[in-house]
């Protein structure tokens, strides 16, 4: 299970995500989706904090996919 380091000013989420393995990254994405469903109507879907997590996670997955493609 992934851990979020709360001192985000010292270690941004983007950098924390880079340290996760593929399985941990997918677990983190799954957890954000679960939280988004639990919070449901508490947030407007376009402004939900999980949307930012999803964007960052997908960006990292795309980067890793491209990196793997180059190393083949």
Tens of pLDDT, residue by residue over 1-23, are 556 656 545 778 888 899 999 99
Percent of the chain with pLDDT over 70: 72
The region, left, alpha or beta by phi > 0 then psi within -120 to 50, assigned to residue 43 is beta
For the purposes of burial, counting CB atoms within 10 Å of the CB of 57, is it exposed (0-12), middle (13-18) or buried (19 or more)? buried
Q: Residue 12: its pLDDT value, please? A: 85
- Structural domain boundaries of the chain? 13-71
Half-sphere exposure of 63 (CA within 13 A, CB side): 11
Tens of pLDDT, residue by residue over 23-32, are 999 998 898 8
Instruction: State the pTM of this model.
Output: 0.65
On the question of pLDDT at 53 being above 60, the answer is yes
């Amino acid at each position: 299970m992934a851990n979020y380091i709360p001192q985000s000013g010292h270690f941004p989420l983007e950098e924390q995500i880079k340290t996760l393995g593929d399985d941990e990254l997918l677990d983190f994405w799954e957890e954000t989706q679960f939280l988004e469903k639990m919070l449901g109507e508490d947030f407007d879907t376009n402004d939900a904090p999980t949307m930012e997590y999803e964007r960052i996670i997908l960006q990292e997955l795309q980067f890793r996919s491209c990196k793997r493609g180059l190393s083949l």
